[in-house]
Structure 1
């Protein structure tokens, strides 16, 4: 896909909607499958990652139905205790979220489940999830001592554990809590910092008692979510690309409706505001236990910031977009304590550094982050996102104002989270 700056790039204008939040979509489907009865999910993200979760849940015994292209799904399930061994391999595609959360579910299902993914996912580390599930009683085998998919899970009787994690990870926390629903006794996860809390919020909304004390979250085994209607708000990690485009393209002014404003998800938008961006978030209500609201953005002159390591977990998915902002801001923008980026859909540190360098940006790469020196225009060049949807969309936005054409390879990778990204961007520029 080639992106080339027009003589005067059309500004982004008007009201926009972004896809349903990917993290909440995964959880809404999974909690619906664990609940006995029929649940509905509206606003579902239609990217490949979420569709992989829906397909896997169907193979486990939950009937997931949705009209072609519809963001509404119905899930009819026999309940957690009656889900069964799948007859085939559960293919999670490119989704680490799907694979890790489903490990927690399959740990409690009698029989054998095999989970795998695409070439990229099969290189991503899974031991941080596998180890605590093994402690609970699940038998999990795979390459590199169970660190790499394909993974075989032999589920059955589980016992609750007290888990203290070294890294704040919502995926680890979620997998352990989902397994904890079917375990005997109490399961507690203690994190070094608060990770995304969608699971805790949504378990509570589904009738499960969740206890929080500081950075510890606990549930009692035997609890089951109840069937209900889930409304998925817009994804702030998708909204940031349109916000970034509005900040960079002169004359732009947009409003994005119905965005999830969970405090653990808006750090990327807050960082753009700290860089001088005209970004405002206005709460308007709640959906499925999550705060929602509008996000407005308008063209702004940006300046660099240093992102403290303790803030990184809350904006880990937004760092590629913030790197583009940093490249076009005055001064230097830096991120440290972000080694987790090395094991995302791509090695995002190396991939962003290579891409920015290709466009003429001065970048310093560290084992755990980047420093991006801005102030100069982006040149043209070729970008290999290495199958990473967030990298691809970040450079697509940069290409809107680059001096020459920016060619983003493997554009199909955006199908995992924001299939209509170019359509939504084009519609905003046509208003």
Structure 2
């Protein structure tokens, strides 16, 4: 369990790229596994979460291989072709793998046992299992709808017309993925638009899927049992990983960083708008579309941030980025108030409570709200000096590594190992830019 210790930065400048988008990487393995033929993926995130998805698809019959040139190939089994694995699927820390694959499995006549690490086993899965039971899947779950879970897919799956009760791309995607091997038409309605990587990739692979925008949100309609076509995918850099660099470069005086080829899906870029509202100096350059996804280069320089009382975007467009945004608010001048963040309590940890505890321990004045956090900024460096409990949450670990660059006394992160799930090169990349970080046994 290596600890991560922060120390004063020497600089923060350079041109970098961040690992491939985690959400797209998961889907780049899952969906081609249901095509017929070979799909090729360039830029796949090779973190532990995505590798867990690859292992699961292999166990259910797909062929997934890394090539000598660093790209990946997936040979699919066709829609309806998944088979029961001969082992328990261990998803480690990956809630995305678990929830999306529950959807895929729901409409296949197979039985799958699944588990994960202590963090994942503590996270509720009922929000996904409930609609999938209406498809016809059965679940034998641990207390509170948690892992370990045995899922028995439906022999005769039923299409759903489902309205999501919360803004969750994972719930939406699970229902759509169940609809792939379901006769008839599956409809998902969401009041708040959530990340749409599943819809984009299915359309690119030839599925009959339509998205209708209206004043009440979005309606996604999928015709079941398509013959998915193989696809070539270039995975853009993950905006959720870039967020740590964006915040670090925004709060460190004199910073000047260019981040290349970052995914700019409009349902994912709330962190940029939020930082700009706080006064961050971020330029969006060379915008283009690659493989159906918007990408751009981001040029960010150090700036004097101010607190904000309301967000310029819906929280769903940056739900994973709030931990590091709280750290930006801790360094900013004035008070920031963030609300509407109930979803943060059911992530890898209760991110509202864990961030509040870590910030308070390091001398930042915070008030935990039922659905968010109130942060009184220090107008510069924070006191620091405490050890932060990550609760096996990669984004907590990386957020406090960023905050530690602006701490008077070093901040210690109790366990750096969760960072491997999404951003394996985080420590080395930050160090190369000039951040002060060191791993300790």
Confirm or deny that 1:200 pairs with 2:199: yes
1:96-153: per-residue Cα shift (whole Å, max 9, x none)?
A: 10000000111122221112111111111111111111101112221236x2111211
User: How far does residue 317 in structure 1 lie from its aligned partner after superposition?
Assistant: 0.4
Q: Distance in 2 between matches of 1:31 and 1:225?
A: 8
Asked if the contact 2:4/2:416 (under 8 Å) is kept, the reply is: no
Q: 1:143 to 1:2 in 2, by over 3 A?
A: closer
User: How far does residue 236 in structure 1 lie from its aligned partner after superposition?
Assistant: 0.4
Asked if the contact 1:136/1:161 (under 8 Å) is kept, the reply is: yes
Alignment of 1:387-426 (within 5 A): 387-426=392-431
1:19-70: per-residue Cα shift (whole Å, max 9, x none)?
A: 00000000111111011111111100011110100000000000111159x7
More displaced stretch, 114-123 vs 348-357: 114-123
Confirm or deny that 1:231 pairs with 2:229: no
Q: Distance in 1 between matches of 2:312 and 2:58?
A: 39
Alignment: residue pair count: 426
TM-score by length of 2: 0.94
Asked if the contact 2:364/2:378 (under 8 Å) is kept, the reply is: no
Confirm or deny that 1:128 pairs with 2:127: yes
User: How far does residue 165 in structure 1 lie from its aligned partner after superposition?
Assistant: 1.2
Q: Distance in 1 between matches of 2:70 and 2:286?
A: 23
Asked if the contact 2:394/2:421 (under 8 Å) is kept, the reply is: yes
Match of 2:150 in 1: 152
User: How far does residue 169 in structure 1 lie from its aligned partner after superposition?
Assistant: 0.8
Q: 1:333 to 1:224 in 2, by over 3 A?
A: farther
Partner SS for 1:150: strand
Match of 1:322 in 2: 325
Moved over 4 A (4+): none
Match of 2:48 in 1: 48
Q: Distance in 2 between matches of 1:67 and 1:201?
A: 25
Q: Distance in 2 between matches of 1:225 and 1:330?
A: 52
Match of 1:362 in 2: 365
User: How far does residue 314 in structure 1 lie from its aligned partner after superposition?
Assistant: 1.2
Q: Distance in 1 between matches of 2:292 and 2:170?
A: 19
Task: Provide the aligned C-alpha RMSD in A.
Answer: 1.6
Match of 2:382 in 1: 378
Q: 1:174 to 1:283 in 2, by over 3 A?
A: farther
Alignment of 1:245-394 (within 5 A): 245-308=248-311, 311-376=314-379, 377-379=381-383, 380-394=385-399
Match of 1:3 in 2: 5
Q: Distance in 1 between matches of 2:12 and 2:375?
A: 26
Asked if the contact 2:116/2:147 (under 8 Å) is kept, the reply is: yes
Alignment of 1:94-109 (within 5 A): 94-109=93-108
Q: Distance in 1 between matches of 2:120 and 2:11?
A: 37
TM-score by length of 1: 0.96
Structure 1 unaligned regions, length at least 5 = none
User: How far does residue 71 in structure 1 lie from its aligned partner after superposition?
Assistant: 4.7
Structure 2 unaligned regions, length at least 5 = 436-441
